[in-house]
Structure 1
């Protein structure tokens, strides 16, 4: 699923900058820190769960 019309390179560039600013070394750590600081919420990311 594509939400934004951005290249992977652009996303990686900005994620790397945010990791540096948040003083974390991985994207999962970045997400966890943003969740703890309430900068993002899980409600922003709908889960596509398929049932059979």
Structure 2
């Protein structure tokens, strides 16, 4: 019998840097399908982004 799949540790998750607050943020399950297009760490930073 196979047990549950091994879970990854938080340190193993991919990270990005938010261009607004300059903090790093890690991959989240809700971003699984569109991780490549995620730019901001939160809705707050997305609303503060610079418009050109």
TM-score normalized by structure 2? Answer: 0.27
Greater helix fraction, Structure 1 or Structure 2: 1
Larger radius of gyration: 2
Q: Which has the higher contact order (CA 8 A, sep 6+)?
A: 2
